[in-house]
Amino acid sequence: KMSKVSEVVTKADIKPKSMHRAKIWSDDVENLYRFQQAGYRDEVEYKQVKQVDEVECWPETGFVKKLQRRDNTFYYYNRQRECEDKDVPKVKVYVY
């Protein structure tokens, strides 16, 4: 249940064409929030930097479970929603 971005990731050094702010919460916004908390733009950048094929997700919700920051420490996330309504406008949505 990962985003559409998963298929695009295989090419090296993909750059987004544009960016806008999230207006309402969704599963994709939740996962973007988690990537951005860990210091990445999105799933594409995370996979490029960390050289991984898969991101660990909760099977029940499809939300990101664990991310490794650039300094190699880990962020662990809950099964439930963590991005509160007040944080939704802070989430940047990139278009490829």
Average pLDDT over residues 5-29: 80
Residue 80: DSSP 8-state: S
pLDDT of residue 50: 95
Q: Does residue 13 have a pLDDT over 80? A: no
Average pLDDT over residues 75-88: 97
pLDDT of residue 15: 86
Domain boundaries, the chain: 16-93
pLDDT of residue 10: 47
Confidence of residue 12 (pLDDT cuts 50, 70, 90): low
Q: Does residue 91 have a pLDDT over 80? A: yes
Distances (CA, A) of 13 to 4, 10, 49, 88: 17, 9, 9, 27
